[in-house]
Amino acid sequence: MAGLNMALAIAAIVGTNYVCSMVGLSNTVTIILQPADHFDRVLCLQTVPGRLGSTSVCVPISSIIAPFFAKKIVGSPAPPVKDLQIFQGSEVELGNGKVTVVEFWATWCPPCRKSIPHLNSIFDKYKSKDVQIIGISSESDKTIKAFCDKNKEVAPKYTIGLDTTGSVSRGYPVEGIPAAFVIDKKGIVAWQGHPMSDMEQAINDALKSES
């Protein structure tokens, strides 16, 4: 059921018309199904059975979310992440000799919540290797606190910044969440995409680059 809810959330965020048009199915007769496995990589759709039977097709999630990151800022100086209300952790400075992951998320977003354990794992693995992570939400501190208190086992371990005015998020091409950006040691955007994709490889590449 959790996977089905996740699939429905993806459809809700990107739009059923958009998803269905990608695979040539009519959204009026389409339901979103959780595949038996590999849900992190594939979204399966199946038409409601009719006179001619049903049609099913699977499409990589990466191809669905890719257009939301169409505006690339890789290779450009990273917009600052200042003027945030720090809910947890400490202020993050970009281009300070550390590799930084800037991630935009929200508590109401199922894909964002699913990404938190992965980000926590990255945080634990790289915190001693000059890698810092900041999760930025436009929600209030009351909302974030309620979420963290209710989900202590999966709550973010890394810095959480609140961008209630939208001043920081406006500097990044965030059209869908979660959206992550890897900033290298010089403060240049080295990678952008979904935090559950190849972000860790981008972190390793940034760590290997000259400071």
Query: Is the pTM of the predicted complex or chain greater than 0.75?
Result: no
57 - beta bridge partners? 45
**Total count of residues recorded for the chain:** 211
Cα–Cα distances in angstroms (integers) from residue 44 to residues 3, 6, 55, in the given order: 11, 12, 11
Question: pLDDT tens across 178-207, in order?
Answer: 999 999 999 999 999 999 988 999 999 999
Cα–Cα distances in angstroms (integers) from residue 9 to residues 91, 112, 132, in the given order: 31, 11, 29
Assign domain 71-208 one CATH number from 3.40.50.1000, 3.40.140.10, 3.40.30.10, 3.40.50.300. 3.40.30.10
- What stretches in the chain show pLDDT beneath 70? 1-70, 210-211
Domain residue spans of the chain: 2-67, 71-208
Question: pLDDT tens across 124-153, in order?
Answer: 999 999 999 999 999 999 999 999 999 988
